[in-house]
Chain A
Amino acid sequence: MNMTTEAAVMTAEAAAPTRSRRSRRRYLRIRAASLIGVTAATAVLLVAYVAVGSGGIAITDVARTIWIGGTGRIIPADFQRTYDIVAGLRLPRVLVAAAAGAALSLAGVVMQAILRNPLVSPFTLGVSPAAAFGAALVIVLSGGAGNGFLATVAAFVTAAAAALVVLGLAHTKSSGQITATVLLLGIALTQLFEAATSAMQFVADQNTLAAIVRWTFGSVNEATWGDFQAIGIVTVLSAVIIMINAKHLNAIAFAGEDAARSLGANVTLIRFGLIALSVLLAAVVVSLCGVIGFVGLVGPHIARLIIGPDHRHLVPFSIVTGALLLATADTVGRIVLAPIVVPVGIVIAVVGAPLFIYLILSRRTTR
């Protein structure tokens, strides 16, 4: 490849490019096929997860429930008990787990792209300790009685406020320092809120302490259709906005902020807007389900391994991997120590940590 340049331009122009074009088309087909295949498999698995557990429910019962619920038919008397279990308990549970996983994974893929760091997650800004603090405060003030709704609202408000403080402070710095500042402020706020929550746990009585700890465990044990709607709506709207900006995410993640600007991206607006969106996703999930780690970190990495780094494919695929991961973790939590239901936050941490270590160690060998 000894080319003096002008000659290089000439000879290369004459070279046949067909081989690379064909390989590119094949690659695109494989990507499309895996996206569709994994999405379909996820849908089937989610239905199967609903049937898992005590109560002798078959997959056909799940399908029948969805059919009856969807078409608004009258429930046969002999099917009423099964219908109540599936529609009232199992379906919302599996769907909330899937939606929460999707939301966290979506938030994670955006944070990783914008902060150009594969080790960040939606909780890097201190969202989860802030939410835990807000909920703990309400629980302590109400003497451990625990108004679930109020704790949820307080968790959301503190989480969003903490993230806004981080973003606001970071944006007072010059453009090149914002990413590092966001990460460091997130660490500082995490420490601060954890200390504050610990302080409250220290002074709390037995009942209050138990209520705080129970809130902090991420779980979908009390999942409702309302939770599913809240997480689902926020996730779908966010996904649309994020997909519109997928090409700019590519530019920021792979070319850097300076080059992204010269490629037509309004980096300041996109960075602030999409980080705020990720925080919103994480805050909604944390306030409804408690702290569920690792999905936001590992979900995008699994998706990246399968579908590649282009955000036009990676963003939708991360939604699918996150949903599958968390719904699977919850199902495992229901059967592994049955009849005890292990909170999904614990299962995902136990499964996620080794998975993450594996991903870190295998990272450079894929090239």
Chain B
Amino acid sequence: MTELTVDKINFFHGRKQILTDISFTLSAGDFCGLLGPNGSGKSTLTKVLARVHRPRSGDVRYDDRSLLRLPRRESARLVAYVPQSGGGEFELTVRDTVMLGRNPRIRIRPTADDWDIVEDTIDQLGLSEFADRQVGSLSGGQAQRVLIARALAQQPKVLLLDEPTSALDLRYQIETLSLVKSIIDRDRIISLIAIHDLTHASYFCNQVLVLEDGSIAVAGSPQEALSPVDLSRIYGIEVIAERRPARVDVFPALFETPGD
């Protein structure tokens, strides 16, 4: 059984501790929602796992190999990372952006195989008609899709997503989450997604981790982990969490009126 094991990760920014003793294990096919208030360490944890940040102590293992000690080229073949947003002053076409995902597997120039994988990924994510367009000319949802395509072109075993849905409207949020879910189910990879919407997470993810001040406050299946008492304390606002068969409806107690 292939597993991703995160073992006692501690991360400091200067003297300030951001993550404290983070430990958990995920198995192939798991889609884990990383929840918690702003500043609780969701993004930082995602970046530590993606080797953007180096933790002060702790280890991340995949299949008993320490990901943090592998050469970057090798860990980048196992773990892919989808940042919140990409781009800057310089821009590539959609196709060339997705090709960046092949970087860990090419020497200097891509081979015909690399181009085939890139084209397949582009087709798979429904981006074929935009392949020659600049990424900056696409809508937010399409651009997000390109970043996911880039990560998939890495053919990773672990897919990390840092709040990919925060800037998207409802339709694109649901499209993005369903897309990731379908890929996890098809390829049996492990995915960890930092996300704000608790109800969305409870529907799409089979595991959730709720961070509070850099520590794991609760963890488990959404049905077990998302309790109104814990969430009210963690978020500092009275919330109601109603368990439904396929999801947990989380909303502020304020919304509940006597008539309901």
Contacts and interface: CB of A to CB of B under 8 A. Distances in A.
Interface of A: 1, 3-6, 8-9, 11-13, 15, 17, 19-21, 23-24, 112-113, 116-118, 174, 243-244, 246-248, 250-251, 253-256, 258-259, 261-266, 309-310, 312, 367
Contacts of B122: 17, 20
Contact of B126 (A8, A116, A248): A8
Contacts of B75: 264
B37 interface: no
B179 A264 contact: no
Interface residues of B, number: 58
A325 to B, nearest CB: 21
Contact of A263 (B90, B154, B160): B154
A254 B97 contact: yes
Given A11-B126, A247-B106, A312-B108, A262 B90 contact: no
Contact of B100 (A15, A24, A243, A250): A250
Contacts of A12: 123-128
Contact of A20 (B14, B72, B73, B132): B132
A275 to B, nearest CB: 17
12 contacts: A6-B178, A8-B179, A247-B100, A247-B108, A250-B92, A253-B88, A254-B87, A256-B83, A256-B86, A262-B50, A264-B75, A264-B103
Contacts of B89: 116-118
Given A9-B182, A258-B83, 4 more contacts: A9-B125, A21-B115, A254-B96, A262-B76
Nearest to A8: B126
A13 B101 contact: no
A17 B122 CA distance: 9
A367 B90 CA distance: 12
B83 A24 contact: no
A179 to B, nearest CB: 10
- Name which of B126, B127, B150 has the most chain A CB atoms within 10 A of its CB: B126
Given A246-B108, A254-B91, A254-B100, A9 B179 contact: yes
Nearest to A2: B171
A15 B51 CA distance: 36
Contact of A310 (B92, B127, B183): B92
B108 A24 contact: no
Contacts of B77: 264
- Per CB-CB distance, the 5 closest pairs between chain A and chain B, nearest first, are A264-B76, A5-B178, A262-B81, A264-B104, A12-B126
Contacts of A244: 108
A13 B123 contact: yes
B103 A248 contact: yes
B103 A243 contact: no
Contacts of A312: 108-109
Interface string B226-255: 000000000000000000000000000000
Given A13-B124, A17-B128, A266 B72 contact: yes
Given A13-B124, A254-B90, A261-B52, A20 B154 contact: no
Interface string B31-52: 0000000000000000100111
Contacts of B119: 17, 20-21, 24
Nearest to A248: B103
A328 B104 CA distance: 40
A367 B137 contact: yes
B189 interface: no
A261 B50 contact: yes
B179 A253 contact: no
Interface string B41-82: 000000100111000000000000000000011011101110
B109 to A, nearest CB: 6
Contacts of B160: 262
Interface string B149-189: 01000100000100000000000001111110011000000
B104 to A, nearest CB: 4
Contacts of B76: 262-264
Contacts of A24: 95, 115, 119, 131
B134 interface: yes
A237 to B, nearest CB: 17
Given A3-B126, A4-B178, A258-B47, A23 B132 contact: yes
A141 B91 CA distance: 49
A17 B257 CA distance: 53
A110 to B, nearest CB: 13
- Name which of B73, B137, B177 has the most chain A CB atoms within 10 A of its CB: B73
Given A9-B179, A12-B128, A261-B51, A251 B100 contact: yes
Contacts of A5: 174-179, 182
B140 interface: no
A309 B126 CA distance: 24
- Name which of B89, B109, B131, B154 has the most chain A CB atoms within 10 A of its CB: B89
Contact of B81 (A246, A253, A259): A259
B90 A118 contact: yes
Nearest to B120: A17
A170 B222 CA distance: 44
Contacts of A8: 125-126, 175, 179
Contacts of A243: 108
A112 B88 CA distance: 12
A264 B150 CA distance: 13
